[in-house]
Amino acid sequence: MIQVKDSLFTLHTAHTTYQFAADGNGFLLHTYYGPRAEGDFRRLLRFADRGFSPNPNALADGRVFSLDTLPQEYPASGVGDFRVPVIEARFADGSAAVDLRFERCEVRKGKYALEGLPAFRGDDAETLAVYLRDPCTGLSAELLYGVLEDSDLITRAVRITNGGSAPVTLTNAGSLCLDFARGDMDVITFDGRHTMERIPHRRAVAPGVQSVGSGRGITSHQHNNFVVLCDHDATETSGVAYGAALVYSGNFRAAVERSQFDHIRLVSGISPQGFSWTLAPGETFTAPEAAMACSNEGLGGMSRIFHAAIRSHLCRGEWAHKPRPVLLNTWEAFYFDFTADEVVEAAKAAADAGVELLVLDDGWFGNRCDDRRGLGDWFVNEEKLPGGLAPLAKRIGDLGLAFGLWIEPEMVSEDSELYRAHPDWALRIPGRPATMGRSQLVLDFSRPEVRDAVYAQLCKVLRSADIRYVKWDMNRSLTDVWSAALPAGREGEAAHRWMLGVYDLLERFTRDFPHILLEGCCGGGGRFDCGILYYSPQIWTSDNTDAADRLLIQYGTSFGYPVSAMGAHVSAVPNEQTHRTLPFETRGVVAMSGTFGYELDPRKLTPEERADMRSQIARFRELYDLLQNGEYDRLTDPRSGLAAWQQTAPDKSEALVNVVTGLTRSNDAFLTVYPRRLDAEAVYSVNGEWSDTGAALMYGGIPLPQEKGDFRAMQFHLVREGA
């Protein structure tokens, strides 16, 4: 619900309130964001004469009004606020001061959409558009607020227009600013590296600016663009927590600043590093969307808001809610070395265990015999696959399995027909040796002709056979970012234009192949963000399939993203990344809290492991809705030595408590796990073996057996009696 009265803007969701105001001089000041409350929070604004905090010219308040000391909605630079800005620009006369003032607003039914960019959707949502203008330069901004009331989500985006008579160059075009008139908060970021992504790091917000971001052209394995601010004492179940997610997949910055007066500001958007965008008179730049949620039920409550909103209002198409198949990916079974007969033999063993989809990974196209060649040549290698993909897909289909394929459209190998024909299609600076990554270069997808040529090849392949699934991979960061299609003065636009080109291709793919299940991937989790989830309902969470490491990776990912988005497989042991050997049961339990599949050669399993595989798939199918769509609770931090998490039906009729122990110690202490958010008065059966009330289970806990061995897994299925 959006209320506008006396220049006061109040945005209510079911449980939160967001408010800001335009003062008499047109400054847009933030007043409140938190648990739902009625009132005019302008009373919280305080004014004082602060040394070295300048004042706008000719204000009646004189020295007591300074942008440097007040919470704002869309702060600019050069006119008195020295904190981290959300918009910066360079004008024709060389000046760089931006002074945006309120002009008007509109309230609209429905949720706004963004041109060429992903965004949350909501037919029952409302949009507030607030128009600001710099009276000296004519630069204007349309601030967009989407209110998804029932989902407790508020989104923000901005369109910036050059209303002047000369070109303007944007050097910073952020999407979100959140100002808090308090300094006692923690920030949680999700950081790591390739094969160890999104590990939570929590610390008190310190004076100055603390930021995370990416200049790699992708969200990155190193930092995620989902950030949390919370009370110092916020836990999984109590305290106020704020989450902010950027709906974007390229270079970003999320910066948190604690000011001299103990105010905290969070800004998020496209990274200003290396970015510039020139607007001719009348032209508009659209910044990506940011989504924010607040919960006074702790970090768990905040996470569940994002989980539900992503499933219901971001993921699109028939696979957003349709049960997804249990798959077998061939990568760790064959790598690049396979024949059609070998693939079919693996499919037979997989079908016998209950697998529903076989995915042929890298190596099926061009001269792709290793990772040094072939990218860009999207035609079938008929030496490996005589007759192309159609005969293989039919043989797989005759076994009762659907057929899927791996692709990497954004890349090109120097040893490829495409590169030999069009070397200028790669991102590469003339006169400078190319920087290589995985022996490949990045195609310049900012150019329509490049996108069109690659897409035409892919369409021909995808229409040549009955293909039901595509894994869209991307295996290097962007370097040498220079586009032959841009003039020298506009190369700062190349990285964002490249990202828009990727989105354009993804949009075409989802339009032309709506029945194909698309999984995003970027060396695993290097592009795990809300931008990609707009096009693909699931993303390969990490190239690290070791179940022990996955406990921490999936734990961190769960703060912002739902289980149904996390690609997770049972892989072969010793594990490819860590060389660790874990029990088959443990690998299955961990992978079930993801999309679930297998990354191994089923022909090499023991009879006992094949039986376990059948049991795992049957259990996953039986509990599918609970596992994929249940409300999620992190019961422990796996770094504590015990990993426990829970999925609960919205009506509390059942829950699944998952546990993985850590390293076994001699003569160890007894362990107990405590479920959450059950129906306290109801009686629950536990694995059909014993029963107790919800209250007894929550407060007394479930005692864990002392099993010998490291990383032992257990599942406790709680079913409400009479449900």
Looking at residues 624-653, what average pLDDT do you find? Answer: 97
Tokens representing 553 are 């990776």
Is the model's pLDDT at 693 over the cut of 80? Answer: yes
Q: Where is the domain boundary, 273, 289, 314?
A: 314
Based on its alpha-carbon atoms, the radius of gyration of the chain, rounded to whole angstroms, reads: 27
| DSSP symbol at 332 | H
Contact 287, 157 (CB under 8 A): yes
**Total domains present in the chain:** 3
Kindly indicate the confidence band of residue 707, based on its pLDDT and cuts at 50, 70 and 90: confident
- Strands 411-412, 441-442: pairing kind: antiparallel
- Residue 666: per-residue pLDDT: 87
Q: Is residue 560 part of a domain?
A: yes
Q: Kindly state whether residues 615 and 639 are assigned to the same domain.
A: no
What strands lie across the sheet with 690-693, from one edge to the other?
Answer: 631-634, 642-648, 654-661, 713-720, 683-686, 690-693
Q: Kindly state whether residues 472 and 335 are assigned to the same domain.
A: yes
616: left (phi over 0), alpha (psi -120 to 50) or beta: alpha
Q: Kindly state whether residues 270 and 127 are assigned to the same domain.
A: yes
Kindly indicate the confidence band of residue 60, based on its pLDDT and cuts at 50, 70 and 90: low
- Residue 672: per-residue pLDDT: 97
Residue-wise pLDDT tens digits, 410-449: 999 999 999 999 999 999 999 999 999 999 999 999 999 9
The dihedrals phi and psi of 588, each to the nearest 5 degrees, come to -70, -45
Kindly indicate the confidence band of residue 519, based on its pLDDT and cuts at 50, 70 and 90: very high
Q: Is residue 322 part of a domain?
A: no
Give the per-residue SS3 of 186-198. Answer: EEEEEEEECCEEE
Q: Kindly state whether residues 61 and 129 are assigned to the same domain.
A: yes
Tokens representing 356 are 């529903």
Is the model's pLDDT at 723 over the cut of 80? Answer: no
Cα separations (Å) of 334 from 329, 338, 370, 531?
10, 6, 12, 32
Q: Is residue 321 part of a domain?
A: no
Alpha helix (H) residue ranges in 292-374: 298-309, 331-334, 340-353
Contact 652, 565 (CB under 8 A): no
Q: Is residue 142 part of a domain?
A: yes
Residue-wise pLDDT tens digits, 197-231: 999 999 999 999 999 999 999 999 999 999 999 99
Q: Kindly state whether residues 682 and 580 are assigned to the same domain.
A: no
Which DSSP string corresponds to 660-681?
EE-S--TTPPP-EE---S--TT
- Residue 479: per-residue pLDDT: 97
Is the model's pLDDT at 59 over the cut of 80? Answer: no
Q: Is residue 361 part of a domain?
A: yes
The DSSP element (H or E) to which 495 belongs, if any, is helix 494-512
Cα separations (Å) of 18 from 29, 126, 307?
12, 14, 21
Instruction: Say which CATH number the domain at 658 has.
Output: 2.60.40.1180
Q: Where is the domain boundary, 605, 627, 649?
A: 627
Contact 365, 379 (CB under 8 A): yes
Catalytic hit among 529, 576, 585, 631: 529
Q: Kindly state whether residues 251 and 190 are assigned to the same domain.
A: yes
Q: Kindly state whether residues 298 and 185 are assigned to the same domain.
A: yes
- Residue 517: per-residue pLDDT: 98
Distance separating alpha carbons of residues 197 and 542, to the nearest angstrom:
7
Count the Cβ atoms, other than its own, within 10 Å of residue 537. Answer: 27
Nearest to 247 by CA among 143, 133, 155: 155
Q: Kindly state whether residues 688 and 712 are assigned to the same domain.
A: yes
Nearest to 152 by CA among 301, 37, 285, 282: 301
Q: Kindly state whether residues 209 and 164 are assigned to the same domain.
A: yes
Nearest to 592 by CA among 571, 572, 550, 620: 620
Looking at residues 436-465, what average pLDDT do you find? Answer: 97
Q: Kindly state whether residues 305 and 374 are assigned to the same domain.
A: no
Is the model's pLDDT at 104 over the cut of 80? Answer: yes
Q: Which residue is it, tokens 């989790």?
A: 525
| DSSP symbol at 320 | T
Contact 300, 175 (CB under 8 A): no
Structural domain for 597, as ranges: 327-627
Active site residue 689: no
Residue-wise pLDDT tens digits, 339-349: 999 999 999 99
Q: Where is the domain boundary, 598, 627, 656?
A: 627
Q: Which residue is it, tokens 């076989």?
A: 358
Residue-wise pLDDT tens digits, 575-586: 999 999 999 999
Q: Kindly state whether residues 668 and 605 are assigned to the same domain.
A: no
- Residue 58: per-residue pLDDT: 67
Kindly indicate the confidence band of residue 61, based on its pLDDT and cuts at 50, 70 and 90: low
Contact 119, 155 (CB under 8 A): yes
Looking at residues 640-653, what average pLDDT do you find? Answer: 97
Active site residue 529: yes
Instruction: Say which CATH number the domain at 173 has.
Output: 2.70.98.60
Residue-wise pLDDT tens digits, 179-200: 999 999 999 999 999 999 999 9
Bridge partners of 595?
Answer: none
- Strands 226-231, 654-661: pairing kind: unpaired
Is the model's pLDDT at 509 over the cut of 80? Answer: yes
Contact 529, 248 (CB under 8 A): yes
Instruction: Say which CATH number the domain at 418 has.
Output: 3.20.20.70
Give me the half-sphere count of Cα atoms (radius 13 Å) on the Cβ side of residue 248.
34
Q: Which residue is it, tokens 């408010």?
A: 19
Q: Kindly state whether residues 308 and 339 are assigned to the same domain.
A: no
Cα separations (Å) of 326 from 263, 323, 355, 604?
49, 9, 5, 19
Kindly indicate the confidence band of residue 667, based on its pLDDT and cuts at 50, 70 and 90: confident
Which DSSP string corresponds to 314-383?
I--STTTTSPPPPEEE-HHHHTT---HHHHHHHHHHHHHHT--EEEE-S-SBTT-SSTTB-TT--SB-TT
Catalytic hit among 504, 609, 637, 692: 609
Q: Is residue 77 part of a domain?
A: yes
- Residue 554: per-residue pLDDT: 98
- Amino acid residing at 495: A
Distance separating alpha carbons of residues 701 and 200, to the nearest angstrom:
26
Q: Is residue 425 part of a domain?
A: yes
Nearest to 70 by CA among 50, 89, 95: 50
Mean model confidence pLDDT for the chain? 96
The dihedrals phi and psi of 64, each to the nearest 5 degrees, come to -85, -5
Question: pTM of the prediction?
Answer: 0.97
Contact 483, 445 (CB under 8 A): no
